[in-house]
Amino acid sequence: MAGAVGRISFKLVATVVAIPIGRIVTKATRKAWATARPNNPPVNPKEVDTDWKDAIVWAGLTGVGAGVAQLLTTKGADTLWRAIIGTPSPRPKHPGVSPEVARRTDSDLETA
């Protein structure tokens, strides 16, 4: 699959992969917090009772969780795409970059 249809299809595959991964990472993040801290996570930093330390630790923990979820989703969707279609997943459309430049690999750019 090439072009817009391939990119849209890949986005659908990525969505199918992202939903369970998001749920798993959310549960893991909350479990990690519950293991480390006795109180509930500070989901609203504007609350008066929110401790700075707790807010910063929670922000870091959720940031790491979001990064891991993004990595797992991207790699999982690519792996699933290759298993189903048998070809590499389509590259995202690069705004402001000509299609010729977007198709080049790093080795092409080094020799240019």
SS (H, E, C) the chain: CCHHHHHHHHHHHHHHHHHHHHHHHHHHHHHHHHHHCCCCCCCCCCCCCCCHHHHHHHHHHHHHHHHHHHHHHHHHHHHHHHHHHCCCCCCCCCCCCCHHHHHCCHHHHHHC
The answer to pTM > 0.75 is no
Domain parsing of the chain, residue ranges? 3-111
Q: What is the pLDDT of residues 45-87, one digit of tens each?
A: 788 888 888 889 999 999 999 999 999 999 999 999 999 989 8
User: What is residue 64's predicted lDDT score, i.e. its pLDDT?
Assistant: 95
User: Given pLDDT bands bounded at 50, 70 and 90, which one contains residue 106?
Assistant: very low
